[in-house]
Homo-oligomer: A and B are copies of this chain.
Amino acid sequence: MSADKNRVNVEIYGQQYTIVGEEATSHLRYVGLSVDEKMREIAEKNPSLDTTKLAVLTAVNAVHDYYKLLERIKTLELEQKHWKK
């Protein structure tokens, strides 16, 4: 089942992580590096946060952005229904 899955090792905020997915390894690496970048951005603005809080807030931001895109998709799909009429 996992035979067609790719895995990459990425360093995120000084720790090694293995990211597994069906996407190309370049994409999986890109996802890991994005998280590393986002954590560093938040750390810069909030130097007193410990790594766990930093990671949780990074996850909060990512989920927040995800829901915003989801709203955008709903709008686009509604518009599409209209245009297809």
Contact = CB atoms under 8 A, between A and B. Distances in A.
Contacts of A84: 83
B21 A56 contact: no
Contact of A59 (B30, B38, B67): B38
Contact of A51 (B52, B57, B62, B70): B52
A40 to B, nearest CB: 12
Q: Choose among A27, A60, A70, A72 the residue with the greatest number of B CB atoms under 10 Å from its CB.
A: A60
14 contacts: A13-B56, A15-B52, A15-B53, A15-B56, A17-B60, A31-B64, A38-B59, A38-B63, A51-B52, A55-B55, A65-B66, A69-B70, A72-B73, A80-B80
